[in-house]
Amino acid sequence: MSDRELRPLPYGKQSIDDEDVAEVVRVLRSDFLTQGPEVARFEAALCEATGARYAVAVANGTAALHLACLAAGVRDGDVGVVPTITFVASGNAVRYAGGSVAFADVDPDTALVTPASIEARVSELAAKGKRPKVIVPVDMTGAIADLAAVRAIADRVGAVVIEDAAHSLGARRLLDVGGRETEVRGASCQLAHMAILSFHPVKHVTTGEGGAVTTNDEALYKELCDLRTHGITKQGLEQSDGPWYYEQRVLGFNYRITDIQCALGTSQMRKLPAFIARRREVARRYDAAFAAHASVVRPLTVAAGSDSAYHLYVVRLVARDGEDEAGVAARRKALYLALAEQKIYTQVHYIPVHRQPDFRRAGMGHEHLPGASAYYASCLSLPMFPAMTDADVDRVVESVVRAAG
């Protein structure tokens, strides 16, 4: 294939078909573009897929995180424990609510937060007479974090668990729930108090921009609904002024999602099982091919009993004899650039959030987090989306091995 014929392969991409387009057009021609019936339909589809009792669809995943932090009671001076390997939004949400972030480390082989690191942050806070208000485990790349261990810590210190499931819609993991090994689904809230989802186009299903909070707790659900619309409610109020009467009880936001977006989301949700199945096939093909090159690159480890939803497919460059992190990072940069020349557009997920200048300026992020450092130096997210063909996967593998070998 000549350069001009090479199909560009981004690291992630939406799959939109005629049925999705028809659903959006149907809503555009209907009476409600927003605050109509499509939002509840989409929320019902999310509940069915995740197993959570309630879903509150909102404008984006960041808004979902913000509302979850507020509903968890994060206020000025509170602290949230957040892994440093995540999108900045997971930490920003704690800050929007007035809190600060204590960053936890990850296992470089899985990119998942380690319970030991959460314990370390909890102990440091305890030494200052504090405890975290929220703990935000992130299901990085689509593999569910050890939510059982996180919940046990949270219960001990009285913290609320907000699962950042932006990557894990459709994921499963066997975990201990109430003493029994149970299949836990991403955003199911079997172990977390609340979970958040994102429907950005690179995610498993898309609404353009969009997000949701799921929960099994009715009180949290009602609060999230109010916060989504300015903190306004009509529930349980005397209507003596007239039927229009409402009250703003708390300071909320306009974080509503439109019916146009939700119609797309519901249509996409019908294809979620097929999307996830194809992502898993792509991952298996990558895994099998890279197994023959284990001295060059290694896929992330997926824990036994864990069935990733593969939002991302991450490989790590293997350090050569005597090579330090800076050496690996330099080769990773070269690999990224060489793949881009082949129109294979990889990405790095993520720059450790504790290194971000804005967090440091705000007095956070001075921890030494060696797991995150090793992971960040070596990781690369390869193309992973349902419309990839087997030939696309083979092309990526060949290019990676040629450039990195």
Q: Which of 39, 58, 68, 89 touches ligand PLP by CB under 6 A?
A: 89
Q: Is 262 in contact with 208 (CB distance < 8 Å)?
A: no
Q: Which of residues 149-168 bind ligand PLP (CB under 6 A)?
A: 164, 166-167
Interface characters, 124-143, with ligand PLP (x: CB under 6 A): --------------x-----
Q: Is 266 in contact with 36 (CB distance < 8 Å)?
A: no
Region of 3-11, 86-94, 234-242, 277-285 interacting with ligand PLP (CB under 6 A)? 86-94
170 binds ligand PLP (CB under 6 A): no
Q: Which of 92, 114, 198, 356 touches ligand PLP by CB under 6 A?
A: 198
Decide whether 61 or 397 has the Cβ nearer to ligand PLP.
61
Q: Is 58 in contact with 52 (CB distance < 8 Å)?
A: no
Sequence-separated (6 or more) residues with CB below 8 Å from residue 129: none
Burial of 128 (0-12, 13-18, 19+ CB in 10 A): exposed
CA separation for the pair 63, 213 (Å, rounded): 9
The CB-of-138 to ligand PLP minimum distance in angstroms stands at 5
Decide whether 328 or 379 has the Cβ nearer to ligand PLP.
379
Retrieve residue 214's tokens: 């799921």
Q: Which of 90, 206, 261, 346 touches ligand PLP by CB under 6 A?
A: 90
Q: Is 158 in contact with 193 (CB distance < 8 Å)?
A: no
Give the angle 238-240-246 at the CA atoms, nearest 5°.
Answer: 60
The CB-of-379 to ligand PLP minimum distance in angstroms stands at 14
Interface characters, 259-298, with ligand PLP (x: CB under 6 A): ----------------------------------------
308 binds ligand PLP (CB under 6 A): no
Decide whether 199 or 290 has the Cβ nearer to ligand PLP.
199
Q: Which of 45, 52, 57, 62 touches ligand PLP by CB under 6 A?
A: 62
| Alpha-carbon dihedral sign for residues 19, 20, 25, 28 | positive
Decide whether 61 or 252 has the Cβ nearer to ligand PLP.
61
What are the DSSP E strand ranges found in 105-239? 134-135, 160-164, 172-177, 180-185, 194-198, 211-215, 232-233
Decide whether 204 or 331 has the Cβ nearer to ligand PLP.
204
Decide whether 62 or 373 has the Cβ nearer to ligand PLP.
62
60 binds ligand PLP (CB under 6 A): yes
61 binds ligand PLP (CB under 6 A): yes
46 binds ligand PLP (CB under 6 A): no
110 binds ligand PLP (CB under 6 A): no
SS3 content of the chain, % helix, strand, coil (to 5): 40, 20, 40
211 binds ligand PLP (CB under 6 A): yes
Sequence-separated (6 or more) residues with CB below 8 Å from residue 126: 157
The CB-of-271 to ligand PLP minimum distance in angstroms stands at 19
Q: Which of 200, 316, 354, 395 touches ligand PLP by CB under 6 A?
A: 200
Radius of gyration of the chain (CA): 22
Decide whether 113 or 374 has the Cβ nearer to ligand PLP.
113
What are the DSSP E strand ranges found in 326-390? 344-345, 379-382
CA separation for the pair 403, 221 (Å, rounded): 50
Cα pseudo-dihedral 21, 203, 132, 54, rounded to 10: 40
The CB-of-173 to ligand PLP minimum distance in angstroms stands at 17
Region of 84-92, 183-191, 337-345, 369-377 interacting with ligand PLP (CB under 6 A)? 84-92
The CB-of-62 to ligand PLP minimum distance in angstroms stands at 3
Tell me how far the alpha carbon of residue 285 is from its chain's centroid.
24
Tell me how far the alpha carbon of residue 112 is from its chain's centroid.
12
Interacting residues with ligand PLP (CB under 6 A):
60-62, 86-87, 89-90, 138, 164, 166-167, 198, 200, 211
